[in-house]
């Protein structure tokens, strides 16, 4: 079953929309007459309208009602982009696209969401956003049934099924199915962690990691294990925990036979066998087998000491240093 329609030309949609309005006006019922079905009127109009198209693209076979619309469409194939932005040099095939783009520079956002009052520079972005509130996900993956709010998101997802990974990391040659995934990965090499927790200052590679971390402060643990009653702040943590009861270790290392409850844990373990150290310090070129170890090392260069004693205010580079220091206040002797 086909769940998505082919993306149609904006000119084609505008043309039909304008003429459909005219047709609907002509079909207004006179007093005493039964009004014609709106959906039937629209269906008949579109059927007739599309049958009249006489200008066909020789490259892809798409048809248009007017020659100037075909001429604009041909730019898709020729790569011609005659409309240039004076601010950043970006080019566009249509003036309307340039006008929409200009709002990025002017900051104009005339389209407002009725639900949360968030504003957008164009109507299409507002439409995509509104699906956050309605829960609508019209673009469905035919392989696994996962739904998306935009066709481009579905297209990126489909690469997972076909195994396509066109985005390559310049540092370690790791490949990714989406550009966003590559951008997040690149931060492991640069050390950039742009998402900071306003509660404790801890930083993260992406916004989803920050959201997960925030549950530590709220103490919210809505996911409970039915076997032992232990609660978790994340569903994924609960699922991993439940495997300790079932004894399932679905992800096995072929080098030593050790099993893991998640593919990410297996991947981290395999570095022991390969000796791979993909995370490089940008200051001294020293390499590490995990992003966490790189982050700890970089504090030597930055002087950052994120772990602070609540008793006396002394700060430490590593958590272990703080833990050892705390014995001064508690009188507890650390294990040597």
Given 3-state DSSP classes, what are the helix, strand and coil percentages for the chain, each rounded to the nearest 5?
Answer: 45, 10, 45
> CA 280 to CA 59: how far, in whole Å?
47
| 250: confidence class by pLDDT, cuts 50, 70, 90 | low
Q: Using the Cα atoms of residue 305, residue 291, residue 211 and residue 113 in order, give the sign of their dihedral.
A: positive
What is the per-residue pLDDT for 2?
A: 37
The answer, yes or no, to whether residue 277 has pLDDT greater than 70, is yes
Average pLDDT, the chain: 78
Domain 61-108: what homologous superfamily?
A: Classic Zinc Finger (3.30.160.60)
The answer, yes or no, to whether residue 30 has pLDDT greater than 50, is no
Residue 331 vs residues 292, 323, 324: alpha-carbon distances, Å: 31, 12, 11
Query: Around Cβ 295, how many Cβ atoms within 10 Å?
Result: 16
| 82: confidence class by pLDDT, cuts 50, 70, 90 | very high
| 29: confidence class by pLDDT, cuts 50, 70, 90 | very low
Class of the CATH-defined domain 279-330: alpha beta
200 or 31: which leads in pLDDT: 200
Mean pLDDT along residues 4-28: 46
The answer, yes or no, to whether residue 26 has pLDDT greater than 70, is no
Q: Note the pLDDT tens digit of each residue in 95-104.
A: 988 888 888 8
Mean pLDDT along residues 231-236: 79
The answer, yes or no, to whether residue 336 has pLDDT greater than 50, is no
Highest mean pLDDT among 22-26, 127-131, 297-301: 127-131
Q: Note the pLDDT tens digit of each residue in 188-207.
A: 888 888 888 888 888 888 88
What is the per-residue pLDDT for 249?
A: 58
What is the per-residue pLDDT for 171?
A: 85
155 or 6: which leads in pLDDT: 155
Query: Does the global pTM surpass 0.75?
Result: no
**DSSP secondary structure string for all residues of 140-197:** E-TTT--EESSHHHHHHHHHHHHT---EE-TTT--EESSHHHHHHHHHHHH----EE-
What is the per-residue pLDDT for 124?
A: 86
> CA 11 to CA 53: how far, in whole Å?
13
> Nearest 5 degrees, angle CA 111-CA 113-CA 118?
85
Ranges in the chain annotated CATH 3.30.160.60: 61-108, 223-274, 279-330
CATH 3.40.30.20 fits 223-274, yes or no: no
Q: Which two tokens stand for residue 205?
A: 């590679």
Percentage of the residues of the chain whose pLDDT score is greater than 90: 4
The answer, yes or no, to whether residue 6 has pLDDT greater than 50, is no
> CA 11 to CA 16: how far, in whole Å?
9
What is the per-residue pLDDT for 25?
A: 47
Mean pLDDT along residues 292-312: 84
Mean pLDDT along residues 23-40: 49
> CA 62 to CA 270: how far, in whole Å?
51
What is the per-residue pLDDT for 118?
A: 87
3-state secondary structure of 208: helix
| 49: confidence class by pLDDT, cuts 50, 70, 90 | low
Mean pLDDT along residues 50-74: 83
Query: Around Cβ 315, how many Cβ atoms within 10 Å?
Result: 13
Mean pLDDT along residues 287-296: 83
Mean pLDDT along residues 314-331: 84
Q: Note the pLDDT tens digit of each residue in 165-196.
A: 888 988 888 888 888 888 888 888 888 888 88
E strand or H helix at 218: helix 207-218
């Amino acid at each position: 079953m086909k769940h998505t329609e082919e993306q149609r030309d904006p000119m084609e949609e505008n043309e039909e929309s304008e003429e459909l309005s005219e047709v609907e006006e002509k079909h207004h019922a006179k007093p005493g007459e039964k009004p014609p079905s709106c959906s039937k009127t629209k269906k008949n109009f579109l059927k007739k309208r599309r049958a009249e198209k006489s200008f066909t693209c020789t490259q892809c076979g798409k048809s248009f009602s007017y020659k100037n619309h075909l001429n604009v469409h041909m730019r898709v194939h020729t790569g011609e982009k005659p409309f240039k932005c004076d601010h950043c040099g970006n080019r566009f095939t249509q003036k309307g696209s340039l006008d929409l783009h200009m709002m990025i520079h002017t900051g104009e956002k005339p389209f407002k969401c009725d639900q949360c009052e968030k504003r957008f520079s164009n109507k299409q972005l507002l439409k995509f956003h509104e699906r956050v509130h309605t829960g609508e996900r019209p673009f469905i993956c035919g392989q696994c049934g996962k739904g998306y709010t935009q066709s481009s998101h579905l297209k990126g997802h489909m690469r997972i099924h076909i195994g396509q990974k066109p985005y390559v990391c310049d540092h370690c040659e790791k490949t990714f199915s989406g550009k966003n995934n590559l951008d997040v990965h690149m931060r492991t090499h640069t050390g950039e962690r742009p998402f900071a927790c306003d509660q404790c200052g801890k930083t993260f590679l992406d916004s989803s990691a920050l959201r997960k971390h925030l549950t530590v402060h709220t103490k919210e643990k809505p996911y409970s294990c039915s076997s032992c009653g232990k609660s978790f702040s994340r569903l994924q943590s609960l699922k991993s925990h439940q495997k300790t009861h079932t004894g399932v270790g679905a992800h096995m290392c072929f080098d030593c036979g050790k099993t893991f409850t998640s593919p990410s844990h297996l991947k981290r373990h395999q570095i022991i066998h390969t000796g791979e150290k993909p995370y490089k310090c940008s200051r001294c070129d020293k390499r590490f087998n995990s992003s966490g170890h790189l982050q700890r090392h970089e504090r030597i260069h930055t002087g950052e000491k994120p772990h602070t004693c609540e008793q006396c205010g002394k700060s430490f580079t590593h958590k272990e240093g703080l833990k050892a220091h705390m014995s001064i206040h508690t009188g507890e002797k650390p294990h040597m």
